[in-house]
Amino acid sequence: MKIINDLGIQIPQVYLPKAGTDLNKWAVIACDQFTSEPEYWQAVEKLVGHAPSTLNLTFPEVHLEKPGEEERIQSIQASMQKYMQEGILQPRDGFIYVERTVGGKTRKGIMLCLDLERYDYNKGSSSLIRATEGTIVDRLPPRIKIRQGAAMELPHILVLIDDPHHTVIEPLSAAKSTLEKLYDFDLMLESGHLTGYAVNQDFENKTIDALRGLADPETFAAKYDLEPDQPVLLFAMGDGNHSLATAKAIWEKVKPQVGMDHPSRYALVEVENVHDDGLEFEPIHRVLFNLKKDLFAELQKTFGENFSYTEVASSDEMIQRVDSAEGEQQVIGLVGGGRASEFGVIEIAHASSHLAVGTIQSFLDAFLKDGGAEKIDYVHGEDVVERLALQAGNAGFYLAGMHKSELFKTVILDGALPRKTFSMGEAKEKRFYMEARKIS
């Protein structure tokens, strides 16, 4: 496959389901969604039945740490081999231009491969491809276990470029009527529509040239008012940080045996422009399950006189107070938690982190380590945080989102954000598995 070394990318060979496959059953949402809502995955299983589906090629994390894990991994690997041998998956070379429409918005992207030699998820990284949030190394082993024996990868990874003048992806959108359409179908369970187009050689070259324009060191330094020797950040993680980190960990492990010219050196991703009008950053909320300790006592002990709490009459009032907060104090909504009022607002003064999400995450990490709750989950949408947090013994933290235009400069100047700071859309807007790529 063609490698563009200066950009850290490879032109991929992508495997797509053969003509006649029911794509509504084939494409399934990212495995890390609806992890506290098993009824969603039950609905997926019922809909798919025995049809060819990426459900059989991926490991929904709702099943992690539950009986049958080894058998599920073996079944996934067997299904990959079966789909290849029976011709259900068929190869094609080149970029794919994709459009995802959901909730009245359309996001645009390009499928390509990133060179894992140009990616470093460690704190303080200055690599061409960087994480935007802290990577939890302890979360990698189960993902490594699933990927390391797999013949193929199916990505839900979304990577961002900062292209305010719309030079890379948007020209493909304008010319899509001239491109070969590869797939065009409605996604399951009211998750919108997905369309993919083959990018021809002429537009492939133009896309590469436009990426080179973004990666030019002088252009990069001028855009962010940096010193001219500042290392270029071309690709920033959007969604799927731990999936790309898993691919990197496996690559570092195998490269002494397989050499540098091996498919596992690269990872298939979708690249989107952070300035795409269809792309929105949504906050990620926290839910604690089965509290074991007095949450309020621990909050007060941790933050002391910098902590205050106010009860509010409704969810709407809580959301309004959090979303409109200004000033130096950090404001976080609280749902449940064993208080008389179901909703309240936490205010923290003189916080150690620049963002409220970083402040509360540091508290929650310590709270969980001390056995304060059975587990934590990260959820999308105020309706989900309320439904889960208002169950007996639970507590939820509602957080405001960050503006997407702040992302690149914040990562360049301050490094990775606190983990689970933002999400590119709500749960049903997440990437669906559609394309596959051989990695062994």
Tell whether the model's pLDDT for residue 139 goes beyond 80: no
pTM: 0.86
When pLDDT is cut at 50, 70 and 90, the band that residue 422 belongs to is confident
For residue 8, the model assigns a pLDDT of 98
Residue 346 · residue 331 · CB < 8 Å: yes
CA distance 186 to 201: 28
Confidence of residue 141 (pLDDT cuts 50, 70, 90): confident
Confidence of residue 416 (pLDDT cuts 50, 70, 90): confident
pLDDT at res. 124 = 85
For residue 398, how many other CB atoms are within 10 A of its CB?
Answer: 25
The residue that leads in pLDDT, 205 or 351, is 205
pLDDT of residue 42 exceeding 80, the answer is: yes
Q: Six-digit token pair at 54?
A: 């990426």
Q: Which residues pair with 396 in a beta bridge?
A: 287, 335
Query: What pLDDT digit, counting tens, does each position of 68-84 carry?
Result: 989 999 999 999 999 99
What is the per-residue pLDDT across 335-350, written as a single tens digit (0 to 9) for each? 999 887 899 999 999 9
According to DSSP, the residues that pair with 397 across neighbouring strands are: 286, 334
Reading the block at residue 281, the tokens are 């950053």
Q: Where are the domains of the chain?
A: 3-281+424-438, 285-398
Strand partners, 432: 29
